[in-house]
Structure 1
């Protein structure tokens, strides 16, 4: 609901208030709520065996992250993998080059010489995006290569996620959208079953195997 609509409703029931006053009420003194919200996400991500992730595109892009016992929503202007990883930091803003980050770079096929420079430098923790970019410049990385900067930044954010004790063995269950394809990723049962529908068994044995896999998927959704 927009502030214009809410203002109109309040005025209609006799509450005189302007859009500016309403906006001030809705956006002032939110620090304690933000801290509580981030604490919920951190507490949820630490032990969760799995989380689900999805997004909706309206005026902005809302990403839902949730598990069996929690759910949070984040709205912004990007649905990139870099943004999703940033959300998984749960309020932290640091970039860390550790084993998790280096493994991420290898999985993403970052050039070995780039990985070697980052791995060989004694400084591994950076408090902000600007500190991280400054480090890349000092290492003479090509900061004008958007693909390279994105890949190593994703890796360093993933390193921070893991350094904060989040997403240890957690599996991200999604519709296989690119931004959700991070370490420990799996399809939700709906999209996994859709892949089975494309298979055309040619023998009774293949049919039995296909049905067995479908039964396993159905059984897992009942847990």
Structure 2
């Protein structure tokens, strides 16, 4: 009887995990950079290495082709994104979304919103409000800071549906806001993006992993279109 109960519990746990992941598709297969390319280019910069099931911005392999921000080949509108990240000491990066890829824009952040990825206390940018891990970069401050110590993996989620945006860090909802309404226009007007033409206006776009010149890792990247 005890063995039957244990087996039943294991089956239930597996079923719950399967249901929780239903509808999610991997954006990174853990082995290759298939489905990604450097922004405004066709290939992937040499600094982005697949190591131990993670995409690693490895500065020791940064050749003449550099690194650059990685973007998905596909665009997304309403979505639920999950990913794990960790940074080296004093590092800065970000997960940027609603990125419009066009040669007239020089970077992913020219158009896209960012969930901050950073060593809060080691990188100088962490001293600024709304520039810390989990923040909607320069726009909305996290309600709390459930970030793990530097070098440990963090689990992040971004849910965007019909303008309702939720950011989750390590199971804690840290940002909730509404995009593109009058209140949002006020938030943008009070940010560094106030005068940036075409910033944050696109309701579909690519997802990007930022090369900020520092060592960072991403893995378990999956998305569910809503």
- Please tell me the TM-score bracket, short chain as reference: under 0.3
User: Which has more helix, going by share of residues?
Assistant: 1
- Structure number with the bigger relative contact order (C-alpha 8 A, sep ≥ 6) is 2
TM-score if structure 1 supplies the norm length?
0.21
TM-score if structure 2 supplies the norm length?
0.21
Q: Which structure would you say has the larger Rg?
A: 1
User: Which has more strand, going by share of residues?
Assistant: 2
